[in-house]
Amino acid sequence: MSSFEAFPSALHDRHLGEVSCEMAAHSARRGDLISQRKRTSIRPVLLCILALAVPAFGCGALHAQTAAAPDKELVVATKQAPPFAIKQPDGSWSGMSIALWKRIADQAHLRFRLVETQSVPDLLDGVANGRFDVGVAAVTVTAERARKVDFTQPFYNTGLGVAVPVNENPWVAIGRALLSFGFFQAVAVLLGFAMAVGFLIWMLERRKTEHFGGGAKGLGSSFWWSTIAMTQAGAAQNAPTTLPGRIVAMGWMIASVIAIAVFTAGITSTLTRRGLEGAVHGFNDLRSVRVGAVANSATTDYLARQRLSFRTFPDIQGGLFALGRGTIDAFVHDKPLLTWMVRSDFSASARVVDTSFSSESYAIVLPKDSALRPMLDLAVLDQIEGDWWQQTVFETLGNAQSR
């Protein structure tokens, strides 16, 4: 083939190659476009899936505890503490705290069984070491207890109350008043003033009045005169003779009349009040009487901090029996528990004084860092803010002070 014949063939082959390249490039661009469209169409689907999955995951995390709780039977410790926890003859439990816990458990779908403990320390120790999952009774929140266990929001706020004998012998009350620290303090003050005035009279009269003269004899005569002058008996005998001495004597007699009147009125008022109200009608009176309390309780901790002497008893009944026998003069305990016990079994021998001190709170006990706490905190607040709880408190204790 000549060069002229080969030239058109080469041009034809070149044209075919260019066309093939363009077709290949077009196919590649088309493939990229299709892939891009596929990715674009898949993206909304993925976003929808994520939008549905994330809230579901969040809700599952929030409710994981509640959902998992029914799978485990909670061991709930309690103890006899009327009217908050009362064991019935058939072994079942009732009371304010138990009713509150049952309502919370029903709403949260919690399975549980109640286990009795013999004391609050046993309950706290069992919760702290994991033997119990929850503690429900009438457990006071204190700093010492909060170091080893957790507490929910308080469900009842109260204070300490004092029980005293109903029919105290009036002569016993009078004798106690006359032997009290306040009585001796008042007598000491009066005698102190009498001694001071007697010394002043002796200083003014010792050189000019014979019966006030001399050393110890004259000073003794001055003390004696100022004392009988205070009682307005025989003040004219052996009276001071100098003008300064008589001025002091006159002022002392006027002042002593007022002092004796105030002293007599105070003693009369004290004896009358003790006869009508008993020896104890407030916290300060506990310092002058024999006090009892339940051993290893928040009450004994408080009395010890106040430096009060007291005897301990194993339970409330033991303390109230001792009160009736006259072994102690006052028994101190949580006021709602004390009020309930006196009304139920000791109304003939004891009464609860209309006062309270040392604010306290009752709460549900949990182990440290318990996963149940956030849920129970809200549940307790929901319950005590309801009308049923206020009605329960009023029907049981006669008041609605629960928060």
Query: pLDDT-based confidence at 263, cuts 50/70/90?
Result: confident
Q: Residue by residue, what is the 3-state secondary structure of the chain?
A: CCHHHHHHHHHHHHHHHHHHHHHHHHHHHHHHHHHHHHHHHHHHHHHHHHHHHHHHHHHHHHCHHHHHHHHCEEEEEECCECCCEEECCCCCEECHHHHHHHHHHHHHCCEEEEEECCCHHHHHHHHHCCCCCEECCCCECCHHHHCCCEECCCCEEEEEEEEEECCCCHHHHHHHHHCCHHHHHHHHHHHHHHHHHHHHHHHHHCCCCHHHCCCHHHHHHHHHHHHHHHCCCCCCCCCCCCHHHHHHHHHHHHHHHHHHHHHHHHHHHHHHHHHHHCCCCCHHHHHHCCEEEECCCHHHHHHHHCCCCCEEECCHHHHHHHHHHCCCCEEEEEHHHHHHHHHHHCCCCEEECCCCEEEEEECCEECCCCCCHHHHHHHHHHHHCCHHHHHHHHHHHCCCCCC
Average pLDDT over residues 96-111: 96
Question: CATH assignment of 164-168+280-359?
Answer: 3.40.190.10
User: What is the distance between the alpha carbons of residues 107 and 64, in angstroms, rounded to a whole number?
Assistant: 16
User: What is the distance between the alpha carbons of residues 346 and 344, in angstroms, rounded to a whole number?
Assistant: 6
Average pLDDT over residues 114-141: 96
235 or 219: which leads in pLDDT: 219
Statement: residue 159 has pLDDT above 80: yes
C-alpha 160: how far from chain center: 9
User: What is the distance between the alpha carbons of residues 285 and 162, in angstroms, rounded to a whole number?
Assistant: 11
Position 235 scores a pLDDT of 59
Statement: residue 67 has pLDDT above 60: no
Statement: residue 311 has pLDDT above 60: yes
CATH architecture of 173-277: Orthogonal Bundle (1.10)
Statement: residue 125 has pLDDT above 80: yes
Average pLDDT over residues 365-386: 96
Average pLDDT over residues 128-141: 96
User: What is the distance between the alpha carbons of residues 331 and 63, in angstroms, rounded to a whole number?
Assistant: 47
The ranges assigned to domains in the chain are 3-62, 67-155+363-397, 164-168+280-359, 173-277
Statement: residue 23 has pLDDT above 90: no
Cβ–Cβ < 8 Å for 358, 158: no
Statement: residue 116 has pLDDT above 90: yes
Of 60-64, 252-256, 261-265, the least confident: 60-64
Cβ–Cβ < 8 Å for 269, 263: no
Position 234 scores a pLDDT of 61
164-168+280-359 and 173-277 in the same fold: no
User: What is the distance between the alpha carbons of residues 230 and 255, in angstroms, rounded to a whole number?
Assistant: 8
CATH architecture of 67-155+363-397: 3-Layer(aba) Sandwich (3.40)
Cβ–Cβ < 8 Å for 126, 366: no
Average pLDDT over residues 321-329: 90
Sequence-separated (6 or more) residues with CB below 8 Å from residue 270: 177, 182
DSSP strand pairing (291-294 vs 350-352): unpaired
Statement: residue 402 has pLDDT above 80: no
Query: pLDDT-based confidence at 369, cuts 50/70/90?
Result: very high
Position 167 scores a pLDDT of 67
Provide the whole-model pTM.
Answer: 0.57
Position 233 scores a pLDDT of 67
187 or 276: which leads in pLDDT: 187
What value does the mean pLDDT of the chain take? 79
Position 11 scores a pLDDT of 34
Statement: residue 179 has pLDDT above 50: yes
291 or 233: which leads in pLDDT: 291
User: What is the distance between the alpha carbons of residues 282 and 42, in angstroms, rounded to a whole number?
Assistant: 80
